[in-house]
């Protein structure tokens, strides 16, 4: 269903981003609306949860995201402060713009904060990437996921197992739609623009010849509080990475949280090696190029588990669980936990045999955002027509 003119009383779709992993999910959604449903007004709202040049600005440029229409500029803080501040600043935005719905993506604090404000004001919440569960309530994102899904009116999922999770939590099936993975939309549409890894290293002041060894190189990211916030956990992980670097050079893109903790715990010597390239957080196109050219990826990121599956690059996930089981069942992901020997064995296996090949999951085809835009447009119009008095 398309509309020539969007009924003014229906209001815009407010699209919320807050932190780095939201940006690659929202970019294709905004583009799909602009290309296929130009009559529907969208407003891009940034909560300001991430704000650095490295964590924010570079990704906006790489992903060709428009400048946000509204920025709440909340910045960093404890979970309560950050979530509360987003809520406090978001409420007047709803009053001013009277949106037809609020569209949130992923599982960061901004996702939950904006959903909670919206539902209390009677504004429909649309959650993209719904239904993923690690079943680990110690993860802040798991709490954000469960609560956002409970209050969302419309839930778009990336893999079929998400529906089972939602049904178990009493969410009605008619609210759930399997559309595929918008993050993979971004990956596929940007792959040809990915920066060559050698260029990324040169620009950061490193000798790119380190990437040319027989085993090429591994990419590392670590940022989960459960891995990096305590010295007793971070130190053994860095020791294992040091051992891995003797087998193949590592390119380690450091999240600000991780960099700060390495310094705070006095662990810098462990990663001071010619075989470990320490980079600041990378732009989207740099990271895409680094991952696509890697022999393997070692990570605790949710996004990288999916991106490596789409790229066919072996991934060892340094976590005890994943909310994205399809990357293990069908993709290239192996859960190695924090056990040092399991990590070393996983690396050896990949170096000896090439690692899991995997296949690309259903609907990770570059068109998820178009499915969302089409379905959401129809849902909003139908709701609008049902709500109209019969005499009109």
Residues marked as catalytic: 223
Give the residue, chosen from 12, 208, 236, 256, that forms a contact with ligand UD1 under the rule CB under 6 A.
256
A 10 A CB-CB count for 341 gives: 9
Q: Is 202 in the site for ligand UD1 (CB under 6 A)?
A: no
* Binder of ligand UD1 out of 62, 85, 129, 141 (CB under 6 A): 141
How far is 263 from 269, CA to CA, in rounded Å? 10
**Which window, 16-24, 157-165, 171-179, 318-326, contacts ligand UD1 (CB under 6 A)?**
16-24
**Beta-bridge partner residues of 66:** none
Q: Which of 68, 140, 236, 312 binds ligand UD1 (CB under 6 A)?
A: 140
Q: Which of 14, 16, 17, 21 binds ligand UD1 (CB under 6 A)?
A: 21
3-class secondary structure, 80: helix
Task: Please give the order of strands across the beta sheet that includes 315-317.
Answer: 276-279, 250-253, 218-221, 296-299, 315-317, 333-335
Identity of the residue, 55 or 119, whose beta carbon is nearer to ligand UD1 in the bound complex: 55
Q: Which of 14, 108, 248, 279 binds ligand UD1 (CB under 6 A)?
A: 108
Sole binder of ligand UD1 in the list 3, 7, 43, 55 (CB under 6 A): 55
Residues in the chain: 392
Contact between 155 and 133 under an 8 Å Cβ cutoff? The reply is no
Select from 27-35, 44-52, 94-102, 373-381 the region that touches ligand UD1 (CB under 6 A): 44-52
Give Cβ neighbours of residue 22 (< 8 Å, ≥ 6 apart). Answer: 16, 105, 106, 108, 110, 111
Q: Which stretch binds ligand UD1 (CB under 6 A): 48-56, 129-137, 148-156, 336-344?
A: 48-56
**Adjacent-strand bridge partners of 362:** none
Counting contacts by CB under 6 A, is residue 20 touching ligand UD1?
yes
**Residue placing its CB nearer to ligand UD1 in the complex, 50 or 97:** 50
CB of 260 to ligand UD1, least distance (A): 6
Query: What are the Cα distances from residue 228, in Å, to 223, 284, 300?
Result: 6, 23, 10
Is residue 257 at the binding interface for ligand UD1, with CB under 6 A as the rule? Answer: yes
Interface residues toward ligand UD1, by CB under 6 A: 19-21, 49-52, 55-56, 76, 108-109, 140-141, 223, 255-257
């Amino acid at each position: 269903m398309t509309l020539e003119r969007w009924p003014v009383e229906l209001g815009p779709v407010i699209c919320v981003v807050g932190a780095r992993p939201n940006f690659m999910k929202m970019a294709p959604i905004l583009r799909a609306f602009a290309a296929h449903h130009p009559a529907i007004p969208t407003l891009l709202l940034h909560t300001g949860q991430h704000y650095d040049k490295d964590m924010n600005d570079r990704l906006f440029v790489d992903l060709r995201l428009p400048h946000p229409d509204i920025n709440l500029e909340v910045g960093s803080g404890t979970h309560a402060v950050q979530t509360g501040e987003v809520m406090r600043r978001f409420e007047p935005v709803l009053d001013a713009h009277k949106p037809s719905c609020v569209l949130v993506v992923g599982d960061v604090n901004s996702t939950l904060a904006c959903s909670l404000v919206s539902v209390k004001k009677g504004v429909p919440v649309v959650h993209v990437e719904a239904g993923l569960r690690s079943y680990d309530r110690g993860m802040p994102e798991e709490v954000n996921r469960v609560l956002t899904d409970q209050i969302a009116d419309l839930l778009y999922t990336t893999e079929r197992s998400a529906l089972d999770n939602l049904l178990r939590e009493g969410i009605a099936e008619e609210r759930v739609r399997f559309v595929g993975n918008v993050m993979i939309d971004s990956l596929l549409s940007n792959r040809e623009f990915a920066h060559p890894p050698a260029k990324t290293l040169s620009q950061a002041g490193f000798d790119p010849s380190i990437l040319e060894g027989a085993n090429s190189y591994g990419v590392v990211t670590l940022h989960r509080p459960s891995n990096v916030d305590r010295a007793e956990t971070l130190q053994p992980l860095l020791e294992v990475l040091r051992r891995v670097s003797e087998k193949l050079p590592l390119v380690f893109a450091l999240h600000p949280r991780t960099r700060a903790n390495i310094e705070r715990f006095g662990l810098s010597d462990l990663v001071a090696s010619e075989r470990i390239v320490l980079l600041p957080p990378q732009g989207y196109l740099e990271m895409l190029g680094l991952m696509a050219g890697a022999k393997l990826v070692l990570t605790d990121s949710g996004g990288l588990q999916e991106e490596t599956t789409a790229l066919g690059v072996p991934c060892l996930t340094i976590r005890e669980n994943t909310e994205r089981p399809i990357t293990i069942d069908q993709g290239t992901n192996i859960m190695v936990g924090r056990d040092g020997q399991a990590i070393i064995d996983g690396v050896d296996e990949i170096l000896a045999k090439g690692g899991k090949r995997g296949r690309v999951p259903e609907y990770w085809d570059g068109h998820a955002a178009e499915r969302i835009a089409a379905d959401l447009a129809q849902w909003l119009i139908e709701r609008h027509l049902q709500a109209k008095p019969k005499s009109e």
